[in-house]
Amino acid sequence: MKFKFKIIFSVILVLFLKVDLLAAEVDTLTISSSFMEKEMKVILIRPTQYNEQTPILYLLHGYSGNENSWLEIKSDLPQWSDKYDMTIVCPDAENSWYWDSPQLKKSQYESYFIKELIPYLSNRYNLSQDRSKTAITGLSMGGHGAFWYALRYPNKFGAVGSTSGGLDLRGFKTNWNLSNHLGDYTHNSIVWDTYTVATYIDQFQKSNQSIIFDCGVDDFFYQANLEIHQLMVEKKIKHDFISRPGAHNHAYWNNSIDYQLLFFYKFFNK
């Protein structure tokens, strides 16, 4: 009986070690950026079965966040990387709003992301640059960033998402230091229009991208998200929009990202 118990215990131990050894790899990298004039951090999560054809999801953080934010919200993100067999990239964007700021010379984040970050990771890890294997999403400020890049670079991103996204910033003229990036709204309203993704939503009519976005009904961004959903319906832009109970917080994003990961998995495997 003791011998049988030892065999069973040994088998369980071997299986446990095997699962542990097959866990997704989490790399933290530092990239020297000429556009940001500093070193920038990024976390890259590679699934166990990673190869050059593995799809990629860029996962963007919100205001006051950093490259660790999504792992703090979703600590089992590496397991999801394995489950859906996708590489997940979580870059630090500081409080840049993901643009090239017309006001702040040292906050040219869009140029860094497109011209430095993506090429660096693609070369180092031999990542696929196939549009059909590349998606981008994010929370709050990151939702704005994901839509911004998808609209401006539709040849790079085949699918896009946003959770609690700041998709129309014009109703928040005094929040989150936006005026530092764009100038005060009173004298720079045209600039604000130019740097707000809501201005360009109709471009999705021709981009043939898969789109998902959601927002909690108690979120201060809810009305803007609802209006963009209604605009997309009017313009006959195919998309998934999810309205659910919730506010602008970690508990909401921990839940909402599950649905987006499944959405992108289906996109990558259609």
pLDDT in tens, 192-236: 899 999 999 999 999 999 999 999 999 999 999 999 999 999 999
CA–CA distances in Å: residue 247 to residues 197, 229, 237, 261, 263: 22, 18, 26, 20, 22
pLDDT in tens, 110-166: 999 999 999 999 999 999 999 999 999 999 999 999 999 999 999 999 999 999 999
- Identify the residue with better confidence: 231 or 4: 231
What CATH number does the domain located at 23-268 have?
3.40.50.1820
Contacts of 135 (CB under 8 A, 6+ apart): 55, 56, 57, 58, 157, 158, 159, 160, 161, 210, 264, 267, 268
pLDDT of residue 22: 55
Range 15-32 average pLDDT: 71
Q: 81: closest CA among 144, 26, 161, 6?
A: 26
Q: How far apart are the C-alpha atoms of 134 and 120, rounded to whole Å?
A: 16
Q: Tell me if the pTM is above 0.85.
A: yes
Closest by CA position to 68, among listed 50, 86, 45, 48:
45
For the ranges 179-188, 236-245, 255-264, the lowest mean pLDDT is seen at 179-188
The tens digit of pLDDT for each residue in 67-94 reads: 999 999 999 999 999 999 999 999 999 9
pLDDT of residue 106: 86
Domain ranges of the chain: 23-268
pLDDT at 181: 86
User: Are 154 and 207 contacting, i.e. CB atoms less than 8 angstroms apart?
Assistant: yes
Pairing relationship of beta strands 38-46 and 25-33 according to DSSP bridges: antiparallel
Average pLDDT over residues 86-104: 94
